[in-house]
Amino acid sequence: MIDYNFNKSSYIVAFLLFSLIGFQAFSQKEPQYTQYMYNIGSFNPAYVGTVETPELSGLYRAQWINIPGAPRTFRFGANLPFKNEKVGIGLNVISDQLGPVSQTYADISYSYQVRVTDDTKLSFGIDAGGSFLNVDLTKGTFENPGENLNGEMLSKFYPTIGAGAFLYSENWYLGASAPNFLTEGVYNDDVASIVEDKLQFNFIGGYVFDISENLKFKPAFLINSLKGAPLNVNVSTNVLISDVVTAGVSYRLENAFSGLAGFQISNALFLGYSYDYNTNLLGEFNNGSHEVILKFYLGKGGSARSKGGNEKNAKGKPKQIDSPRFF
């Protein structure tokens, strides 16, 4: 067993972390997000061509503050729709750290969408890339004399291929995706299974209610289904005020309550923040989880207004856009 020179209580928490939570962290491609509603392109390649203007996003998540070796995640993403309003490409890079294990995922997405009705479009997407796995056991010392892993390092690359579908209109959306169909595990004879990648499915949906001219309300959900593990169910509600301020709450079933807030700093820049409070056993040992997302909207109309309202033309009158959405 690895000892990171923690005190007794920290060691107990670290043991719980790797024993109870390690399965989830090492068995699925997609890390956990609270602001999934702003991060759909990360886990569904069909989304990348549905946005109205090119957008770039960066996300950082610090999970379970005060627990040694707890997850730290950084994501960079790009969604680039083509002018023909049918094709889109995307880039997704994720760095995920858990104790001595780090993984970096990188993939490129392609999507193509068709019009189902006058108000509804269906987008199909695929992505291809790979995962770089690194295990650095030089960070720990071992309590049992028989263990001989001290100082060992493991590096491995394995390819990933995923697909998804995204059905949407101006005020609702439904999506389904599988991040990786190539579920080949990465093993080490001494450490047993380091990564046992299993087929995962993601289901997402949301509906936008226009409460008034300056207020929109959106309930949403995200469900992760992984073979051999309980469903990971996330439900949330958000309000958009005057196309500028976003506020909401989220609940991850039997895991955490979250508060969310966002602000449209300018037409081209959105900042979002969330805080998680654990409702499970780990809640007694950490100070919650923090997540920050920064989104850049490129080109004309690139703002939260493109998602939740109409822009104005040079004369100050409302200008109709193709698909004003709060997602």
Q: What's the mean pLDDT when you consider all of the chain? A: 81
Q: Is the predicted pLDDT of residue 49 greater than 60, yes or no?
A: yes
Question: Is-contact 317 75, C-beta < 8 A?
Answer: no
Backbone dihedral region of 151: left (phi > 0), alpha (psi from -120 to 50 degrees) or beta?
left
| Residue 214 main-chain phi, psi, to 5 deg | -115, 15
> In sequence order, what are the beta bridge partners of 174?
167, 205
Over the stretch 230-275, which tens digit does the pLDDT of each residue have?
A: 899 999 999 999 999 999 999 999 899 999 999 999 989 999 999 9
Quick one: tokens of 162? Answer: 């995923």
Asked whether the whole model's pTM tops 0.95, one would answer no
State the number of CA atoms in the 13 A half-sphere of 262 facing the CB: 31
DSSP-derived letter for residue 283 is G
Q: Is the predicted pLDDT of residue 197 greater than 70, yes or no?
A: no
Question: Is-contact 131 105, C-beta < 8 A?
Answer: yes
Name the band, by pLDDT with cuts 50, 70 and 90, for residue 313.
Answer: very low
Whose CA is closest to 291, among 38, 92, 23? 38
Name the band, by pLDDT with cuts 50, 70 and 90, for residue 156.
Answer: confident
Q: Is the predicted pLDDT of residue 126 greater than 90, yes or no?
A: yes
Q: Does 302 or 182 have the greater pLDDT score?
A: 182
SS (H, E, C) 181-248: CCCCCEEECCCEEEECCCCEEEEEEEECEEEECCEEEEEEEEEEEECCCCCEEEEEEEEEECCCEEEE
Question: Is-contact 77 39, C-beta < 8 A?
Answer: yes
In angstroms, the CA 289 to CA 170 distance is 32
- What per-residue confidence (pLDDT) applies to 174? 98
Question: Is-contact 327 307, C-beta < 8 A?
Answer: yes
Question: Is-contact 162 30, C-beta < 8 A?
Answer: no
- Mean pLDDT computed over 59-64: 94
Neighbours of 132 (CB within 10 A): 14
The three-class DSSP label of residue 281 is helix
- What per-residue confidence (pLDDT) applies to 169? 95
- Mean pLDDT computed over 54-67: 94
In angstroms, the CA 89 to CA 69 distance is 35
In angstroms, the CA 78 to CA 93 distance is 9
- What per-residue confidence (pLDDT) applies to 183? 72
Which of 63-67, 108-112, 142-146, 187-191: highest mean pLDDT?
A: 108-112
**Strands 186-188, 55-62: pairing kind:** unpaired
Question: Is-contact 85 51, C-beta < 8 A?
Answer: no
- What per-residue confidence (pLDDT) applies to 90? 97
